[in-house]
Structure 1
Amino acid sequence: MYALLLDNSLTDRIILFVLAGLSIPALYYYQKWKWHYHYNHSPYLNEPLKGIVTTDSIITEVSSGKSETPWSNFIKYKSTENIMLLYLGPNVFKTIARDFFTSTEDWEKAKLIVMNGMKKNS
């Protein structure tokens, strides 16, 4: 590639440099557009999500199926004021968000159930 630059005129090199520089933001915006496209056209991401947090497991339901994961499958959790990450592996986790609950009391109860369920694993 470098040999091609030496044979070309200064104008050709400038054009190539500008096009290479413009490709980075173009790829960024294309990727961002693609993410929005897939999110907006996915039948699974735009449907309501129901879930239940019990003393034995977390259950998630959508129109395509149901997932029940017992607390013994989780290796750890991380929590902030508005979200909990329940880790199934080093890079695999389920999310429980404050927005999933109708009241602050329900959110606090769910956090306690998760903490108690994870203590059983220890």
Structure 2
Amino acid sequence: MGGRPSVEGDVYSYGILLLELFTGVSPTDERIIDGLSLQKQVEMAFPDQVMDIVDPKLFSEIDGEHNLDTPENVYSCLVPVIQCGLMCCKESPKERISIKDVTKELNLARTKVLRQ
């Protein structure tokens, strides 16, 4: 956010990257409305409307239709990933999750989905 390079700054950047990857929207995208940041728009939709903000290109298509045979699996995977992105993007560096904890959370989400 304009300060000196730091581990906390790297965590912030990683969070923005996660949000960009899963929403398909960059922080400078014209779809960012009313002067809100990408993370603020994601926060507003999280967690109840998470499927509304996720990039539909992430889902495979079968015969022109998005394959969401198991929406519970998709939702249970997306929520912790997007939550990690949001925790990385906290405005105050002291409020941000550590990258070590991000790794733990993402691994837990992966393990949970693989067990389903």
Same fold by TM (over 0.5)?
Answer: no
Highest Rg: 1 or 2? 1
The structure with the greater share of residues assigned to strand is 1
Please, what TM-score do these two structures have when normalized by structure 2? 0.30
User: TM-score, length-normalised on structure 1?
Assistant: 0.29
